[in-house]
Amino acid sequence: MIVKVDAKISSENLERIIERLQNDYKLKLHFSYGEEYTIIGVVGDTSVIDTDRILSIDGVADVQRVQEPYKRASRKFHPEDTIVKVGDVEIGGNNLVMMAGPCSVENEKQIIDTAKAVKAAGATMLRGGVVKPRTSPYAFQGLGMEGIELMKKAKEETGLPIICEVMSIEQLDKFGPHLDMIQLGARNMQNFDLLKAVGKTNIPVLLKRGLSATIEEWLMSAEYILAGGNENVVLCERGIRTYETAYRNVLDLNAVPMLKKLTHLPIVVDSAHATGKYWMVKPLGMAGVAAGADGLMVEVHPEPDKALSDGPQSLKFNVFEDLMQDVEKIANVLGKTFKKEK
């Protein structure tokens, strides 16, 4: 642990820090004196320290733990941005990717028409669920393998790499070889056996944030996959549950710059599940890009009022085009490469 104190800290307060760390916690201290700050390196089992008790002392500028519980996901151990390759698409670095498609694959015409429309508007990847984590067991559950075949057909027609969710190891084994990227949904962020199984593959994975997961829990889930040897992990902020009921979830935009600081893994914002309302998808998506996201995921449907899942947050084709144009403006301001293959 590192304690950064003001060089002008009073001797009493400095004494208080030393006393607390040495006497209360029995740790060794190393001092290095700079012009503006004195850095105290704390050696020993720092996990017992209540950092707030140190931060509360006047003159303490910062207290930083050197060791996070996640190592492979941490930027400290891997300062460079990770770029995850999905087919020809690169996620991370200076690229801005757009993953678009229906919530669920419903039939051939729906997925092919949508794939063509999102491609024409400049999307870089096609999404579509074939197994759905529905709240009700009576709601549409997805087409399964038939849906995978339709996604492959859409890929053939458009050249867009495809991403589908898997909810079990069985589905991972069955669908994985056909996909360019797999999605682990919010409800499975802490399905540790599934995380371990995904870690043993080399398939790029989009790891969505759990419904009420903290950043640290989320990064620990990423750590499971990385620890298994699969380094192709992209995080997806999709809104968290709060006390607010006016919209489906709350898009935690804080997560974007925070994750950029903590981890080298790319981060994508899903402003569809984060809001649950089609007219909120564009403003929040733009905000996500402005906050530094490496990409967006949105849901697009030819006729949202007929969608078998998530119609209220699905964009019609012309609304998606409009979103793409405005996102491109932000990408240009940020100097990001926004690959629109028409």
Binding residues (CB under 5 A) for Mn ion: these are 103, 310
Sequence-separated (6 or more) residues with CB below 8 Å from residue 135: none
Q: How far is the CB of 103 from ligand PEP (least distance, A)?
A: 5
Q: What are the residues whose beta carbons fall under 8 Å from the beta carbon of 210, sequence distance 6 or more?
A: 186, 187, 189, 190, 217, 218, 221
CA distances from 131 to 55, 139, 165, 169 (A): 48, 12, 7, 13
Q: Does 102 bind ligand PEP (CB under 6 A)?
A: no
d(CA 292, CA 288): 7
Q: Which among Mn ion, ligand PEP, none contacts residue 293 (Cβ within 5 to 8 A by kind)?
A: none
Tallying the residues shown for the chain, one arrives at 342
- Residue 6's beta-bridge partner residues? 37
By beta-carbon distance, which residue lies closest to Mn ion? Answer: 103
147 binds ligand PEP (CB under 6 A): no
At residue 61, the 3 state secondary structure works out as: strand
Query: What minimum distance in Å lies between the beta carbon of 72 and ligand PEP?
Result: 23
185 forms part of the interface with ligand PEP (CB under 6 A): yes
Distance in Å, CB of 180 to Mn ion, minimum: 19
Nearer to Mn ion, 129 or 266 (CB): 129
Tokens of 109: 């015409």
182 binds ligand PEP (CB under 6 A): no
Q: Which one, 16 or 187, has the nearer CB to ligand PEP?
A: 187
By the rule CB under 6 A, 238 interacts with ligand PEP: yes
Binding piece for ligand PEP, criterion CB under 6 A, among 107-115, 166-174, 185-193, 276-284: 185-193
For ligand PEP, give the closer residue by CB, 160 or 186: 186
248: left (phi over 0), alpha (psi -120 to 50) or beta: alpha
| Least Cβ distance, residue 87 to Mn ion (angstroms) | 23
Q: Is 273 near ligand PEP (CB under 6 A)? A: yes
Maximum Cα–Cα distance across the chain: 75
CB-wise, 17 or 184, nearer to Mn ion? Answer: 184
The C-alpha atoms of residue 203 and residue 195 are separated, in whole angstroms, by: 12
Give the strand pairing for 37-43 and 60-64: unpaired
**Which of 129, 147, 176, 199 contacts ligand PEP by CB under 6 A?**
129
- Please say which residue, 1 or 184, places its beta carbon nearer to ligand PEP: 184
CA separation for the pair 154, 239 (Å, rounded): 28
Residue 312 touching ligand PEP (CB under 6 A):
no
Q: Write out the residues near ligand PEP by the rule CB under 6 A.
A: 103, 129, 133, 185-187, 208, 238, 273
